[in-house]
Amino acid sequence: MVERLTETVVPVGRRSILALKEWTPSEIRGILTTAAWMKANPKVAHVRYALAGKSVGMIFELPSTRTRVSFQVAIQSLGASPVILDWGESQLGRGEPIADTARVMSRYVDGIVIRCRSHQTVQEFARWASVPIFNALTDQAHPFQALADALTLWERQKRLSGLKFAYLGDGSNNMALSYLTIGAKLGMQVTIATAKGYWPAAEVIDWAREEALVTGGSITITDDPEQAVFGVDAVATDVFVSMGEPGDPAVKQRDLMPYQVNGKLMALSKPEAVFLHCLPAHRGEEVTDEVIEGPHSAVWDQAENRLYVQKAALLQTLGD
């Protein structure tokens, strides 16, 4: 039986999406419900023109392929115009304060998609902007990737509540933290397997455990990769070294190699388990070719679903 994501899609009004922590389980389920409906009904007229006459700014401090293209297509397919601003080619790159940029851009556009190295930069942007801000990745959160991954899991496994989900790799990066958040919000049984020194911060674990108590989920942190993947419905990983991360990448890669998702490890999960990777992937490091190209892999569906969750979120927060 397919789990019903939500009974009703609750109106959310003009809201920013900086991290899913700030969203209730029913609001998150509402975005997923709308996204699934949009995917099934791509040509419905009131969706195609829902944001007609509006403009959405897009600011990228870091490189992107999926996020940039999928947001631009999502904005256009709702009838709005994307306005793309490269950080280095704007006055931001010459040091104009975030507070000034956010206030000025708010006079031109109806919402702003922003990818930054530091989560504090996006928070600062949201503090000064008078239009919704959409976090397109920071060092602490990648909310639209987490939403796309939840939609992919729901499509493949027909449920999210109680789903056994293991993430292997850097337990303190944006994807690990986003999986802890969305997993706790949606009642999933989340296990993070990582080396000592790469665990999520204690307050994040405590927050996720408290949230999971309410939703019927659970949060486990372990340094044992085999125990983490045993009998799970889904296995996820991410690059060992994130974009622009300081420190010696060779040390981190060495520390995290025991958490590589390879065929031997994947075989410990359920036969119908799904493998997730937000991409880009480094084959031979966090994942082997046989897994990412193998029968468990749902990575192309994940990438596609970015489009639908972003369309859904834009519609719900910027639509009239």
Sites of contact with ligand CP (CB under 6 A): 64-67, 137, 145, 278-279
Closest approach, Cβ 147 to ligand CP, in A, equals 12
First to last CA, the chain: 34
Residue closest to ligand CP when measured from CB atoms: 67
Closest approach, Cβ 146 to ligand CP, in A, equals 11
Closest approach, Cβ 53 to ligand CP, in A, equals 27
- How many angstroms separate the CA atoms of 190 and 162, rounded? 9
- How many angstroms separate the CA atoms of 110 and 131, rounded? 6
Question: Could you tell me the sign of the dihedral formed by the alpha carbons of 188, 316, 303, 156, in that order?
Answer: positive
Identify which of residues 34 and 145 has a Cβ nearer to ligand CP in the complex. Answer: 145
Structure tokens at 35: 């996204």
Active site residue 238: yes
Q: Which of 29, 66, 110, 115 is catalytic?
A: 115
Closest approach, Cβ 75 to ligand CP, in A, equals 15
By three-state DSSP, how is residue 112 classified?
strand
Q: Which of 278, 296, 302, 316 is catalytic?
A: 278
Residues in CB range of 71: below 8 A, 6 or more apart: 56, 58, 82, 113, 134, 136, 310
- How many angstroms separate the CA atoms of 64 and 54, rounded? 24
The rounded Cα 61 to chain-centroid distance in angstroms is 18
Active site residue 306: yes
Closest approach, Cβ 68 to ligand CP, in A, equals 6
Closest approach, Cβ 277 to ligand CP, in A, equals 9
Q: Which of 142, 170, 260, 316 is catalytic?
A: 142
- How many angstroms separate the CA atoms of 15 and 26, rounded? 15
DSSP structure class, residue 31: H
Q: Which of 123, 145, 157, 189 is catalytic?
A: 145
Identify which of residues 64 and 262 has a Cβ nearer to ligand CP in the complex. Answer: 64
Identify which of residues 137 and 221 has a Cβ nearer to ligand CP in the complex. Answer: 137
- Short-list 121, 124, 150, CA closest to 137: 121
Closest approach, Cβ 140 to ligand CP, in A, equals 14
Active site residue 277: no
Identify which of residues 131 and 137 has a Cβ nearer to ligand CP in the complex. Answer: 137
Q: Which of 29, 140, 306, 316 is catalytic?
A: 306
Q: Please spell the DSSP secondary structure of 120-182, one letter per residue.
A: HHHHHHHHH-SS-EEE---SS--HHHHHHHHHHHHHHHS--TT-EEEEES-TTSHHHHHHHHH
Peptide bond into 246 cis (omega under 30): no
Identify which of residues 137 and 141 has a Cβ nearer to ligand CP in the complex. Answer: 137
Identify which of residues 205 and 243 has a Cβ nearer to ligand CP in the complex. Answer: 243
- Short-list 24, 74, 52, CA closest to 309: 74
Identify which of residues 63 and 231 has a Cβ nearer to ligand CP in the complex. Answer: 63
Active site residue 116: no
- Residues serving a catalytic function are 115, 142, 145, 238, 278, 306
